[in-house]
Amino acid sequence: MRKPERICPIGPRHASPGSFAAEEFEALCDAYGNRCLACGDTEAALEADHVVPLTKGGSDDISNIQPLCASCNRKKFVNIIDYRVSTDVLS
C-alpha cells in the first residue's frame, strides 16, 4: 500500500510576534475614516501595512498596522514610515 504524500500545513510565513483579527483591522480603518493614511483616498480598498516591516523586526500586532491603499503600500515597500503620526484618532 502506497503512503499518501505529506502535505505541509498552511501556517504563518514568518515567526513574528503578535497577530490581529480582521475585525480589529476593520475597526482600525473605521477609526481613520476608511481612508488611506498616506494619500487620503477614501475609495480604494485598504490593506494592512506594517509600520515597521516584518523583515525589519516589526510585529503582526495591530499596534504596528496602518491602513494604506495598495498603491501607497507598494510605494512604501520595506521602509519604516508611520503615517499615523499626523492623526490623533487613536491617541
Residues 19-64 have pLDDT tens digits of 999 999 999 999 999 999 999 999 999 999 999 999 999 999 999 9
* Residue 61, burial from CB neighbour count under 10 angstroms (0-12, 13-18, 19+): middle
In sequence order, the β-bridge partners of residue 33 are none
3-state secondary structure of 69: strand
Enter the pTM of the model: 0.76
